[in-house]
Amino acid sequence: MEYERPDVVMDRLELLRAYAYGLCMGTADALPGVSGGTVALLLGFYGRLIAAVTALTPHKAVTVLRGYDPDRRTRARETLLEMDLQFLIPLGVGMVTAVVLVADAVSSLEASHPVALFGFFTGLIAASAITLGRSLRVSSVAHVSAAIAGAGLALLVATGIVELPGSGPLVIAFAGAIAVSAMILPGISGSLILILLGQYVFLTNELTAFVGALGGLLGDGSLATLVDPGLTVVLFVAGGVVGLVTIARVVRAALTRHREVTLVFLVSLIAGSIPAPLGHIAASHAWTTETIALTAGWATLGVLVLFGLEYLVGGFNPE
């Protein structure tokens, strides 16, 4: 059912509710295996989110900017309502708040407890693939082909058989485009995409450094410390904006026209990504019996957490 946008200005309670939605969605998107789009579905604002995102077009942005002309001011105001910025802005602020907080925690744990962190992430991703896969049927050649393509592609990248470039400007922007697009899709986690692309740890560390440098400016910090992480954040956000108006629309069109095949591909992509976090453990720890046991224990906790969340909300659906 198409979402009907209310032509009213939100009151303070609605602004606070949108901010709280953003906190929940941002927290989910910052953890691989949990989708912000799924959270939006569960909390009942997914329709409004998609309607608002698809209303963000260059043409409407130009219409708003022309609002300085009194003759065009009414149309500019109508366009602002169509874009639903009174909902998107507090939602976005909430998401940014949550992502910053989670990124700071991840940066600390990545340095001090990588086995616990990435073992937990492995469990989240595995449980996510199971819970989402339950609702899908692989009953045709097209379904099988999509499943092989999705899982195969992810496995090739996750196991390092296909090497991806480092973290140059184009890679950061591309990662932003893919990850932010994934954030609004039920079942697909933006941070999972970043782990698969090998950018998750780098980008969380850069975000933490950027926030720290901003805070330092209030004291005796140097502006120079803000430049490098700031450029990374700008590139990622710019890529995300491009992704929202391009890649996200393509995937939504694919879901509309070929829903089952597209969902099989996306869920298989998640399944093939299960080994991706393990590479971060291998980078700092040898695979001894103790490391394997600890990883398995934390992965089990991740599985239990996601299964528990699924039970509490009554089940996940990828769409």
- pLDDT, average across residues 266-293: 92
Q: What is the pLDDT of residue 113?
A: 94
Higher per-residue confidence, 195 vs 65: 195
Nearest to 19 by CA among 84, 69, 89: 89
Q: What is the pLDDT of residue 8?
A: 45
Least confident stretch, 16-30, 125-139, 247-261, 299-313? 247-261
- 7 band by pLDDT with thresholds 50, 70 and 90: very low
Q: What is the pLDDT of residue 10?
A: 52
Checking if the pLDDT of 6 tops 70, the result is: no
Higher per-residue confidence, 44 vs 115: 115
- pLDDT, average across residues 190-199: 88
- pLDDT, average across residues 13-21: 90
Q: What is the pLDDT of residue 133?
A: 86
Q: How far apart (Å, rounded) are the C-alpha atoms in residues 1 and 38?
A: 17
Q: How far apart (Å, rounded) are the C-alpha atoms in residues 126 and 184?
A: 20
Q: Average pLDDT over the chain, rounded to whole?
A: 84
- pLDDT, average across residues 19-41: 84
The conformation of residue 275, written as its DSSP 8-state character, comes to T
Contact 265, 150 (CB under 8 A): yes
Least confident stretch, 56-60, 156-160, 225-229, 285-289? 56-60
**Torsion over CA: 58, 62, 64, 65 (sign):** positive
* pTM beyond 0.75: yes
Q: What is the pLDDT of residue 300?
A: 97
Higher per-residue confidence, 42 vs 193: 193
Give 234-256 pLDDT, tens digit per residue. Answer: 999 999 888 887 877 787 788 78
Kindly calculate the radius of gyration of the chain based on its CA atoms and give it in whole angstroms: 20
Higher per-residue confidence, 79 vs 103: 103
Contacts of 88 (CB under 8 A, 6+ apart): 52, 53, 56
Higher per-residue confidence, 165 vs 203: 203
Checking if the pLDDT of 186 tops 60, the result is: yes
Give 63-81 pLDDT, tens digit per residue. Answer: 888 877 787 888 878 787 7
Higher per-residue confidence, 7 vs 19: 19
Q: b vs e for 45-62, b when ≥16 Cβ sit within 10 Å of the residue's Cβ?
A: bbebbbbbbebbeeebee
Q: What is the pLDDT of residue 21?
A: 92
- pLDDT, average across residues 130-156: 90
Nearest to 246 by CA among 57, 40, 2: 57
- pLDDT, average across residues 153-166: 81
Where exactly are the structural domains of the chain? 12-313
Checking if the pLDDT of 315 tops 70, the result is: no
